[in-house]
Structure formats: structure tokens, C-alpha cells
Amino acid sequence: MKTTNLFQPKFIVTIFLAFFILGGQPIEFGLEKTFFHGYLIKKPIIKIGLGLNLSDIKISSSSGMKIYEVNSWYKLIADEATQVRIKGHKEKLSEKFLIQIAQTKDKKEAEAIAQELKTKIRNKIYITENEEDNVTIGYQVKIGDFLTRGEALSFIKKLEELGFKESWILREDITFDETRPLWILVNDELKRLKKETVLYFIPSNGQSFLSFNGRNYRGIFVLKPSSKGLVLINILNLEDYLKGVVPSELSPYEFNELEALKAQAVAARTYAIKKLGMYNELGFDLSDTPNSQFYKGMGAEHPLSTKAVEMTRGQVALYKGKLIDALYTSTCGGMTEDVENVFGGQPLPYLRSTECVYEKQNVWLIKGKNLLPPILVEGKNISPIVASLLCLQIIPFQEDSSFFQEEASYEEAVQWLQKIINLLGKKIEQPWPQASVLNYGSLASLIVKSLGWEKRVQTLLLKSEKDFILQDYEQWPEGLRDYLAYLIQSGIFPATLKMKNPENSLTRSELAFYLGKVVQSYRDLTHSGIFRKLEGKTVELEEEKEIKNLGLSPDLVLLKNNSGHYVFTTQLRLLKGDRVRWIEGEGQIKLLEAVYSFHSNILDRDSIFHNWQIKKSREELERRINQFYPVGQLQDLIPQKRGHSNRVVELLVKGSDSQVLIKGFKIRRVLGLKDTLFVIDREYDKHGQISSFIFYGKGWGHGVGLCQVGAFGMAREGADYKEILKKYYHGIKIAKIY
């Protein structure tokens, strides 16, 4: 792919510079090395834009840098600078608006539409290569220029009368040149530079790196003028660039499977090479933002993602011998979509809708023997607390749930509390308080005195605080009021109506709840982590990146936690990667709790965007939509067509002035949603008019190509990177091109 030089050379040395550093020749996929005054850059080389329209630039080096000024001459202006500041003219940014009339896959078709338009209107007509979310999908036919959005909105109505029903508004930045000079401060010396000057920043040695805006970068920097003001460009080896891209796009901290990161590396490499020269007019290939690929320099690098880049060096995805548009999306919500349904244009055989499941996925069945219905106290499900006390053998195992609804005795409270004290490694410093019955008063005294909490009560409870807490507890005698106030303050007792009378008796479920709170006040006995597999009677778990192998207790207690709703069960079906909590003892799991945020087999179920809900007022959506289409007062949103993944691919917007059919990726942009996989609910005001729209959706991104979280799920199940890539990109081959 041909690239453009950053400046017009006038001397031989400048030609030499451009040839070797800017890669003016088509990219060469070999082992050639490029030197610039001793600094090595291996090919292939890529140029990344780090900032546009800059006016105050601070660049530093870890161990010195050379600075070259290139204009109509070429000279060294600093040899061992560690920090430099450039103050330049910032272009005055404004905006213009255009109207997109059509988009076509074929250029001749676009030219035919433009020719027809010329017979009907006098406005300027553009034909441009169409990039939608950095996907080349054909050609756009546009009309412009309009200085205000209002002018463009008015013109859309005229176009509708001419039969162009799918027009929509595009905004573009324009710049006006200002004549302020360019200055550079280096080694405490201020120098004025010509406006057209190009500056090169070269690390003094191969181990040094440059810094800009708090980020460190490999390679060299070039600062140059462009049509959008001063632009800073990072020129570096493509593989070094990927070391900063892969962890920025797929976090190795959260998604720490090597094969998923290798798949991401191949996709990112393919995308980068396919898009070389995307911003030729500005002097670079790609930007450092998600508009191209997210690139955060050396600071993002991680040993695992770097290993993924190095192990796949030079590998790309090809379809019939050509680089694919290696699109990827964060979370597909269960199924990716056909590319043409999102971005328009012709179908691409390798970007077809794909269900985000893995056919080789293992399902493990774990069985326990204790089953109880949910146990409630004051309407709160306390099953997790009861389960923990059961598996710690503080409470005797029970098969009859009525046991917990019966009144507890004082002797039981003493027995259970004695076991808790032994579990916590404490000892009784004074005789147990004696009582004939168990009620709130006797339990408060038992807890405070047996655990030696009198000093806590005396020291940590202020009189004013006690008076505030006990405003509704007049029946409690003075000798117990301090105990009650402290137990409420510390969260052991809830402030319930039943507790107003200290003589009220307690059920076993209430006793278990309060004693469980006592245990929690000392330490959390549960562990949290990830289920990996079951082999025989041994479970493999991951806790804070440490692998643990534990046996299953014969008296194993099992719990299902469905988004905070707890149920005892006799069996759990678990997938690798499911979140679990457990209590262990003597090398065995006593309690195992499956934490189901989304009870699903979908590979991207771990993503926080697997399910989402967004509420927007009618007025808010009305303002957004009228920035693109002149519909007037918003009346309703009606999905007209869905794709293979159930994404909305055609949405009818009904307004008081007009209605418009929005297609594909524009739906997400116009509505401001995370994805287009959604259903719509509505709220109405007292007049029967829609007041709000509630979107219940899944996924994050455009939903086409590789699902990044799905790739992690496949890798976790044992798939390699080639299998992952071939699942999401149909019919491709992985080839090494350098």
C-alpha cells in the first residue's frame, strides 16, 4: 500500500531521510533494518497519529534524544536533550455539515447517482470511499457544504421530495489558519521555527524511549504541520506497535488466556496492515484511538500479551489470498451479525453471523446431599449464612426446614456460640451468663459477655449515639440498653419491630442469622474465585490467579446464587470460568456456591455488557435524533427488521414532521446505545403519551467479526488461536507474510 512522504524534500539528505524513516516505498515484509543516525527501526514500519491540532507539546526521553529540524534545510538542533517543549500555532477549528445521499459497493453506481443528482440540484456533490467504524464498505455520495446543522436539516426535506429517502447528516471539522509562530524550548534556549518546519525526535540509543502526555513509546516521533494543525506521529516497528495495541484492546489482567490474546494479535495485525495509509493526507497510517485501534504505548504492555504478539509474529488472516477486514467487537451478546446488516454494502463471506458458543465446552455436574428451601428472616433470604454455619458444623445438619422455624433454646445458643468461639480461636475469659429462656435480651448479654465485648461497648459507643439508636426501644432495661445499642450499631442486630420487646423469643433461623453476623464481624470465611474443572472428587479452582485443588466433603452444601437470589440445591452444573464462592476446611470444600450473574452457556457471559438496560426520556432521544434527521417531536421508535443475531437492522423513527428509516450501525450512533441488540419498552405520561423509552439489550460494539470476550471463553475451554479465529471469520486461512 503506497504511503505519502511527510514533507516535500529539496535536498539529497532530506530524500535520504524520507526514504528510510517514513517508509515512502510500499511496505516490505522482510527482515530489513532501517537506521537513522544509529537508531534502529526494523521493518515493517507503521506511523501512528498521537494527536492533532496541538499547540503545547511536551516531549521527554528516558536517556536523551536528538532533535532534527527539517525545512528547506536539515540540521541537528539538539544532541542529548532530555525534555523539550514546543509552543505552536493551533488551527482554529470549525465545522461543516454534509448530507449523505447513498452508499454503494460499486464506484460506478455511486457515479451514476451523483450524475443524476447534478441534473436536479446545484450543490456540490462528493464521492468518497466509505469508512464506517473503520470498515471499508464502498462509496458515499454526499452533498455539501452546509455551515449549520439547521441548513442541512432543511435541505433533507427537499431531497425527500426528490425521492432520496435515506439521507442523513454528517459533521466534519474544518480549519482556519492562524499566523502565530512556532517555538521550541530545548536546553533552556528558546528558538523560533518556521511554520512549515518538520521536527524529528530520535532516542539517543536503542534502549531509550520517548514520552508524550504521560505515556512512553517505542520508536521515534515526528512533529509536522497538516491540514488539521500540528500532528505528532509515532514511527515504529509494526510488531512493537502491536505490543501496545493487544493489551489495550483485550486486557491480559482480566482476560488472561494466551490463546485469546494470540487471536487478538492476529486480528489486530491484519487490521493494521489492511488499513495502512488510512490517514495519508495527515501523514500517518492509523490513529491511537479506538477509531482505529486503541494504542497506549509501552505503558500498556504486559508479558502475556507481548508473548502473544511474539508467538504470532507476521501472521495474518486471509480470505482467498487477500487480507480480511478483521473487525472485532467487545461483547457480541451471544451471536455476531452479518456485516452488511450493520455496515451496509455487499455481504462478505468471512463476516457472517456466528453463535458465540463452543461445541466442545465441558459441563461438570457436582452433587451434594442437603436440600432445604430458602430460609427467611424478616423477609431476607439468609440461606448463605445458614449454609456456612451448617458446613462449619456449628449448626447440626437438618433435612427438615421446619427445624429453623421453631423457637431456639438458650442451651442451643450457648452450644452454637461455643463452637463459633472455638472456630475463631478465642477463649472465654469469664463464666457464661445464665438464663432460662432465649430472647433478645438474654442473647444480647450472651454475645457481649462471652466474646468479651464489654470494652467495645464502653469505648466505641458514644452516649449521644446510644440515645439516637435507642429512641424506639424504651422497654429495654438500663442494664441491657448499652449492649443492644452496640449490637445494632455494629450490624449484628437489625433494627426490627420485633426487637422492641427484649422478652420476645427467637426462632432458630433468627439465632443463626445473628450468630452468622458475629462470625462475619471477625472475618469472612468464604473464598471467591473461578471454577476450572472437576476430576473425580477433586475440584480445581482459581483464586487470585492461584490454582487450588480441593476435595469435596461428604457433607457438601450447595447453593445457587442467581443475581442475589439464593437457593439450596442437591446439584450444580458448572462451566469452566463460572464464578464461585466456597468454604474450605481440612483440604475439602464444605460449601460451594455458584454465582450466576447470567445463567448461560454463552461464551461472553463474563462481560459486564452481556446484559444491559438503558432508560432515555423521549425529549432526550428527540434532541439526539433531530441532530441527524428533521423528524420534529418524537412519537415512537419501531424496529422494522432484525438480523440473524436479532440485532435491529432497520428502525422506523416516527416524528410529528416526518418519519425516517434508520439502518445498521447508524441506529446505535443516533440513539446513543451500547449495541443494536435490544428490545424497547415504553413508559407513558398521564395523557397517554410516551414519556420514556427503556432499552433492554445485550452486547457492546458493532457486533461484527471476532467477539473478544467470546475468544477468551473459547481459549479458557482449550481452543487455540487458529480455532478461535476460524470460528468468527468464516473460511479464512492464517498465513505468515513476514
pLDDT 10s digits, 40-60: 888 899 999 999 888 889 999
Q: Provide mean pLDDT across the span 428-432.
A: 75
Asked whether residue 734 carries a pLDDT value surpassing 90, the answer given is yes
For the chain, percent of residues with pLDDT exceeding 90: 57
Residue 562 pairs in a beta bridge with 565, 596
Domain membership flag for residue 233: yes
Other C-beta atoms closer than 10 Å to the C-beta of 147 total: 13
Most confident range, picked from 136-140, 453-457, 663-667, 722-726: 722-726
Q: Provide mean pLDDT across the span 431-442.
A: 91
For residue 555, whether the previous peptide bond is cis, meaning omega lies within 30 degrees of 0, is no
Contacting residues for 45 by C-beta, under 8 A, at least 6 apart? 23, 27, 34, 235, 236, 237, 238
Instruction: Indicate the pairing of strand 648-655 with strand 634-642.
Output: antiparallel
Q: What does the alpha-carbon distance between residue 433 and residue 648 come to, in Å, rounded to a whole number?
A: 68
Do 47 and 190 fall within a single domain?
Answer: yes
Q: What does the alpha-carbon distance between residue 396 and residue 390 come to, in Å, rounded to a whole number?
A: 6
Domain membership flag for residue 567: yes
Q: What does the alpha-carbon distance between residue 560 and residue 540 come to, in Å, rounded to a whole number?
A: 19
For residue 303, whether the previous peptide bond is cis, meaning omega lies within 30 degrees of 0, is no
Position 34 scores a pLDDT of 64
Asked whether residue 442 carries a pLDDT value surpassing 60, the answer given is yes
- Compute the half-sphere exposure of residue 204: CA atoms within 13 Å on the CB side of its CA: 12
Instruction: Indicate the pairing of strand 677-684 with strand 690-698.
Output: antiparallel
Position 409 scores a pLDDT of 95
pLDDT-wise least confident of 116-125, 385-394, 532-541, 708-717: 116-125
Q: Where do we find the cell 443524476? A: 116
Q: What does the alpha-carbon distance between residue 539 and residue 557 come to, in Å, rounded to a whole number?
A: 14
Residue 677 pairs in a beta bridge with 698
Domain membership flag for residue 616: yes
Q: What does the alpha-carbon distance between residue 402 and residue 462 come to, in Å, rounded to a whole number?
A: 41
Count of domains for the chain: 6
Do 235 and 342 fall within a single domain?
Answer: no
Q: What does the alpha-carbon distance between residue 234 and residue 238 come to, in Å, rounded to a whole number?
A: 11
Q: Provide mean pLDDT across the span 588-608.
A: 85
User: Cα–Cα distances in Å, from 90 out to 179, 253, 281?
Assistant: 9, 39, 18
> In this structure, are residues 574 and 594 in contact, taking their beta carbons and an 8 Å threshold?
yes
Maximal C-alpha separation, the chain: 104
Do 570 and 620 fall within a single domain?
Answer: no
Q: What does the alpha-carbon distance between residue 269 and residue 5 come to, in Å, rounded to a whole number?
A: 23
Q: What does the alpha-carbon distance between residue 490 and residue 465 come to, in Å, rounded to a whole number?
A: 12
Q: What does the alpha-carbon distance between residue 77 and residue 61 come to, in Å, rounded to a whole number?
A: 16
pLDDT in tens, 240-269: 999 999 999 999 999 999 999 999 999 999
Domain membership flag for residue 717: yes
Contacting residues for 679 by C-beta, under 8 A, at least 6 apart? 639, 695, 696, 697
Final residue of a domain: which of 278, 313, 348?
A: 313
pLDDT-wise least confident of 129-133, 271-275, 435-439: 129-133
Quick check: helix, strand or coil at residue 187?
coil
Asked whether residue 113 carries a pLDDT value surpassing 50, the answer given is yes
> In this structure, are residues 340 and 346 in contact, taking their beta carbons and an 8 Å threshold?
yes
pLDDT in tens, 445-498: 999 999 999 999 999 999 999 999 999 999 999 989 999 999 999 999 988 889
- Residue 12 pLDDT level (bands cut at 50, 70, 90): very low
Residue 152 maps to which CATH number?
3.30.70
Print the SS3 string covering 492-540: CCCCCCHHHCCCCECEHHHHHHHHHHHHHHHCCCCEEEEEEEEECCEEE
Most confident range, picked from 31-35, 420-424, 694-698: 694-698
Domain membership flag for residue 517: yes
The residue segments making up the domain with residue 221 are 12-90+179-313
Residue 667 or residue 100, greater confidence: 667
Domain membership flag for residue 354: yes
Position 29 scores a pLDDT of 44
Residue 101 or residue 697, greater confidence: 697
Do 100 and 84 fall within a single domain?
Answer: no
Domain membership flag for residue 578: yes
Asked whether residue 543 carries a pLDDT value surpassing 70, the answer given is yes
Position 293 scores a pLDDT of 94
Do 419 and 402 fall within a single domain?
Answer: yes
Helix H segments across 119-226? Answer: 149-161
- pTM beyond 0.85: the answer is no
The one-character DSSP state at 482 is: H
For the chain, percent of residues with pLDDT exceeding 70: 90
Position 723 scores a pLDDT of 97
pLDDT in tens, 153-205: 778 777 777 777 777 788 776 655 554 557 888 876 777 777 788 899 999 88
Q: Where do we find the cell 457492546? A: 700
Do 191 and 46 fall within a single domain?
Answer: yes
User: What H or E segment, with its residue span, contains residue 560?
Assistant: strand 546-562
Do 100 and 137 fall within a single domain?
Answer: yes
Rounding to the nearest 10 degrees, give the CA dihedral for residues 399, 404, 410, 411.
0
Residue 547 pairs in a beta bridge with 542
Do 419 and 509 fall within a single domain?
Answer: yes
Residue 563 maps to which CATH number?
2.40.50.140
Position 564 scores a pLDDT of 80
Final residue of a domain: which of 596, 620, 639?
A: 596
> In this structure, are residues 246 and 308 in contact, taking their beta carbons and an 8 Å threshold?
yes
Do 447 and 457 fall within a single domain?
Answer: yes
Domain membership flag for residue 681: yes
404's grid cell? 429453623
- Residue 21 pLDDT level (bands cut at 50, 70, 90): very low
Do 642 and 573 fall within a single domain?
Answer: no
- Residue 14 pLDDT level (bands cut at 50, 70, 90): very low
Do 225 and 269 fall within a single domain?
Answer: yes
pLDDT in tens, 563-577: 788 888 889 999 998
Do 340 and 261 fall within a single domain?
Answer: no
Final residue of a domain: which of 155, 176, 197?
A: 176
What letters, b where the CB count within 10 A reaches 16 and e where it falls short, cover 690-702?
bebbebebbbbbb
Kindly report the backbone phi and psi dihedral angles of residue 340, in degrees, each rounded to the nearest multiple of 5, phi listed first: -70, -25
Residue 595 pairs in a beta bridge with 561, 579
